[in-house]
Structure 1
Amino acid sequence: MSEITELRNSLDVQPRWTYIAYLLIGLALIVFIGYFIIYNIYAFSLFRFPFDFDQGEGFELMDTVLFSQGQWPYQDNNNYPFYSSNYPPVFHLVIVPLIWLFGPQYWTGRVVAYIGTLITAVAIGYAVQRESRRIWLSILVGLAFLASNYVYHVGPLFRQHMFMVMFETLAVVLVTVVVQREEETGKRNNLGLLVVMVLLLLAGYTKQLAYATVIAVFGFLFLRQTKRAVLWAIPFTAATALIFFIIDSATNGQWLTNTITANINPYIPAQGIGLFRQWFELHTILTIAAVALTFYQLYFERLSAYAIWFVIAAANGITAGKWGAGESYFATAIAASCILTGLVAGRLVTWSKSKGPRWYVAVMSIIALLFLVQANKVFHWPTHMPALRAIASAVGKPVETYVAPQTSCSAPRAAVAIPYVDSAGVGLLGRPPNDEDIEAGKRIAQFVSSGETAAFSEEAGFNFYAGRDVITNPTQLLNLYNNGQVDLTEMIGMLDNQQFDSVIFRAQFYPPPVLEVIGRRYETIELVEMNGFVYCLLSPREDIAPS
């Protein structure tokens, strides 16, 4: 019997006002579908934007280009072009065929990352559907994942994090299915478990942070099938280590230096605490529901893979306090909480049916209302279109936010109105880039083209657009410098001799000695604002001859 039929039958013995349950569920679906439309508006605006929207996207593109040319991106930062990657290869390798077909385009990685978030949402919905058998609930939890401010901000970017979350989610859902069916049939499914191991390997070699999900999956297997968990852990560890040492050997040790050493960053307690607080405030309903079901399973049932995953992923959120980390570090915990929320909601609906129509309608109504509360908490809304502006105004939300352009290399600027509102606070991710941003990027690329060399730039996009070499990966250099693992002699010598016709700053993430020599040998000649940042365009100082 369908959910709609069940509800109608219950309404036959209830006053007409009980139709409110059905209406509230419909309203919740409409709201989350609305967020999905917004997500697509944002994503497709990024697909057409040919420069970095988030700092570092261009370096992900550069990694992919190097792989497409049969080269490793794990290179010696001591020598020109002073470039290396600090991320594992899977995400970039997936994009390589698109680079072969279309060249070095930002949309290639953004589309792949975007598709990864859709697959994650479908996997979340499937996990709930196979237990609850309520399609409306499965749709809601899948869309709730995409509606998270954090997923919205980074999902369609050329970044590998959400692709890692996709593999993590698929692995946890599949291990749940495999173990449950084994317990039901009494037959081992080693092929299914092998696929789980492959998914975990892919997650880990997409981004190192997947270790939390690896711990969760093996922890679940250890609780259910201790001996088997140990037997599978041995070849999994061996395969992980073998891949690691093969890559490290092929890159003459640069893999270890750039993916491990370069990721040892200072910890900022205030950042970690602030992000934990924000994560809970934005995802209160999802988090409380996940915690409630986890405690229920702990005391009255067996811990599920989803509960273990949620606890470990949430605890791992503490790593968001590292310099260079951020909100995306909670995406795995959000995925787990969406599944647990769907499971607890499904159980409550099933329980309420046994208590009679009044309970059934009441529980359905409360669940719908809680999803609406969650939707309000994650409110994020671009208002650059009249219709979107009208909707924001109609629901009592602001229609613009005042944000001062961020600058590290010029005088502070006054706050300006931007057509975007976000409950996560003032930020620059989430606002769809516009034509003015594209023209600003082209202006900076033209500045690069006016010289004869590649720009010494904090972002790769301008050199890509101008057809020049990509020089440096600033945050990578800074991390290595702070860990005493880079020799800046050649780089500083080239800058001291003014061998670069242009320098481009956005945040001045370079090591202090690099900033010092640039300050002596180059001067700012133009400021260009793009995506809410002030870019400083520098040329060699004419009053000081090269050394």
Structure 2
Amino acid sequence: MNALRSHGAGWLPTIILALALLPLLLKVPTAAGFTGAILTYPFQVDDSEGVILSEAQWLARGVDPYQPARDDFFTAAPYTPIYTIINAAAFAVGSFTFKVGRGVAWLATLAVAAIIGALVLGRTHRPLLALWTILAILTTNLISIWSVRARPDHLALACNLAGFAIIWWRWRTLMATSGEATAARWRIDRAAWRIIWLTAICFALGFFTKQTLLAAPVAIGLGLLLARPRLGFAFGVIYGSLVLLPFAALTLITRGGFYQHIVAFHSSWSARDFLLLWGPFVARYWPPLLLGAGLPLTVLLTALKAPDKLAHLRADADLLPALYLPVAAFFALGAGTHGGNHNHFVETIVVALFCSALLIGRLLDLPKNTLNWRALTPTLLVALALVLGAEARFGGTNWLARDFRQPLPQEREGWRNVAAFVTNDPGPVYADNVGLLLVAGKEVRYTDPFSLAYATRTDQWDDRALVARVERGEFSLIALRYDLFATAADGGGPNDLTPGLYTAIRAHYRVIERNVMTLYVPR
């Protein structure tokens, strides 16, 4: 009887882990439907899509999108160049399309899920736990939204996770001397040099895909400094050189334009803007954040109980993921920068799911004291899966309802009509939807109205030449997302229009059509 009970106790966690897959499997059709709809959608779904792809189109034509802003040519160029170059290569041999950029982002998301799944499997040796993590990443709404937008976020994250995986998989090799004399820990052998070089290269690729994804290299640097100080210092020097030297070279080549676009145009930060995004994010995703936070807490408490606390912490197999989660949460502060969005929280939720799976695996590997403890541990994962399965109803309001949905038929029809109208217009067109101009085959000389307005407010760009063009009626058509005459009572224009543009359009243009965009022509 005892043998039978023991056999049942061994199978029970596996059965419960299998049950934890069901809520996520039920989300797959919705996630797949959303992914397919956006991948094939012919219009812009995020402002940055048009901005990035217009700059890729200029690059494909041999025009530097990072050149200093001119009176007659303003590009936001908010991201480092690798993703832009990939899209430019596609535009050099084919016509404009959103599909390439979105496809790259989607493939990068698959890579992110695969890397995390492989890390969980390698650490826990539990295939069901690895599969759960992969499904959780691929079906979480916030991650799905950004997985099919023509943006560099997920490609940069995939590069960083590749670097994280390289060093974590070889952590035991790097820590082989951690229990020896202090002098031994300061030695770096040839194998260690190879590991940190490969890791630093992956992180540098991540930086030059999107410069704000710094959590992984910082977490790795902290872990190395804690365990092998000289190795951590060497990693920092190598990574810093791989980032700063090309950055300085690009700044010189572009006559200061690269720094202007990457740093100066996007250097603002607002606590209010951050909290407006952070509050709904935490309200919706606090269960995975809380469970994931259990891993760094467990690592810390376990080390505190050990006789040699620092040595135990260095030797803990989960040290790097335990560092990664709080560092990722810290860098989520980037959501408060000018034009920031909830894409800044994607890395945090990915790492929280990663740490949640590692925590469950860690608890399941504890001594089998009681049947109840062994059974209860994977039920945490079932509860989390149920929360993720019903996330649209979690947190009070459906925070992501506007983003996580398939475009409605009337929206598609509206965009087709407006795109046809803009395409048939013979003159230059100004629009705050840059993707519309790309679809219509119009030249884009002013990208990202938000950055343009911010640069004007901070005296980094002078909009007088653009305002004069509007006053002269040089744009045969202006397309905006709002009716400027309907907002007149609000006491000012929208935050993506400079005061000069707001006044000039109202004085010299009139509305001719209200659709998904409001269209204006000269009076």
TM bracket (short chain)? 0.7 to 0.9
Partner of 2:169: 177
In the superposition, the TM-score normalised over structure 2's length comes to: 0.85
Q: 1:10 to 1:208 in 2, by over 3 A?
A: farther
- Are the counterparts in 2 of residues 268 and 323 from structure 1 also a CA contact under 8 Å? no
Residue 313 of structure 1 deviates from its aligned partner by 1.2
Which letter does structure 2 place at the counterpart of 1:452? P
Q: 1:492 to 1:108 in 2, by over 3 A?
A: same
Residue 518 of structure 1 deviates from its aligned partner by 1.3
1:229-275, Cα deviation, whole Å (9 max, x unpaired):
21232232223221112211221211111111100225142x32343
Unaligned runs of 5+ in 1: 1-7, 381-396, 398-420, 530-534, 542-547
Partner of 2:39: 47
Residue 486 of structure 1 deviates from its aligned partner by 0.3
Which letter does structure 2 place at the counterpart of 1:284? W
Partner of 1:317: 332
Instruction: Find the aligned partners of 1:9 and 1:104 in 2 and give their Cα distance.
Output: 65
Q: 1:249 to 1:422 in 2, by over 3 A?
A: farther
Q: Is it true that 1:107 corresponds to 2:99 in the alignment?
A: yes
Partner of 2:145: 153
Partner of 1:387: none
Q: Aligned with 2:47: secondary structure?
A: coil
- Are the counterparts in 2 of residues 64 and 93 from structure 1 also a CA contact under 8 Å? yes
Residue 20 of structure 1 deviates from its aligned partner by 7.7
Which letter does structure 2 place at the counterpart of 1:514? L
Once the two structures are overlaid, the 10-residue window that deviates more, 497-506 or 71-80, is 71-80
Partner of 1:404: none
Partner of 2:459: 484
Residue 137 of structure 1 deviates from its aligned partner by 0.6
Q: Root-mean-square deviation (CA), in Å?
A: 2.6
Q: 1:134 to 1:248 in 2, by over 3 A?
A: same
- Are the counterparts in 2 of residues 110 and 156 from structure 1 also a CA contact under 8 Å? yes
Q: 1:337 aligns with which of 349, 352, 358?
A: 352
Instruction: Find the aligned partners of 1:492 and 1:539 in 2 and give their Cα distance.
Output: 15
Aligned length: 484
Residue 359 of structure 1 deviates from its aligned partner by 4.0
Instruction: Find the aligned partners of 1:10 and 1:260 in 2 and give their Cα distance.
Output: 63
1:159-181, Cα deviation, whole Å (9 max, x unpaired):
12222222222222222122223
- Are the counterparts in 1 of residues 21 and 385 from structure 2 also a CA contact under 8 Å? no
Partner of 1:279: 281
Which letter does structure 2 place at the counterpart of 1:522? Y
Aligned ranges for residues 146-295 of structure 1 at < 5 Å? 146-184=138-176, 188-269=191-272, 271-295=273-297
1:476-525, Cα deviation, whole Å (9 max, x unpaired):
21121122100112211211111111001126512221121111111111
Q: 1:252 to 1:9 in 2, by over 3 A?
A: farther
Q: Aligned with 1:525: secondary structure?
A: strand
Residue 44 of structure 1 deviates from its aligned partner by 1.3
1:269-301, Cα deviation, whole Å (9 max, x unpaired):
2x3234333333322232122222212212323
Q: Is it true that 1:510 corresponds to 2:506 in the alignment?
A: no
Partner of 1:469: 443
Once the two structures are overlaid, the 10-residue window that deviates more, 89-98 or 220-229, is 89-98
Q: 1:525 aligns with which of 484, 490, 512?
A: 512
Q: Aligned with 1:208: secondary structure?
A: coil
Q: Is it true that 1:87 corresponds to 2:79 in the alignment?
A: yes
Instruction: Find the aligned partners of 1:70 and 1:224 in 2 and give their Cα distance.
Output: 47
Which letter does structure 2 place at the counterpart of 1:375? L
Q: 1:261 to 1:10 in 2, by over 3 A?
A: farther
Partner of 2:182: none
Which letter does structure 2 place at the counterpart of 1:321? G
Q: 2:302 aligns with which of 300, 303, 312?
A: 300
Which letter does structure 1 place at the counterpart of 2:292? A
Which letter does structure 2 place at the counterpart of 1:374? V
Partner of 1:346: 361
Q: 1:138 to 1:422 in 2, by over 3 A?
A: farther
1:10-58, Cα deviation, whole Å (9 max, x unpaired):
67557xxx98866643343132133233222112111221111112211
Q: 1:510 to 1:78 in 2, by over 3 A?
A: farther
- Are the counterparts in 2 of residues 54 and 157 from structure 1 also a CA contact under 8 Å? yes
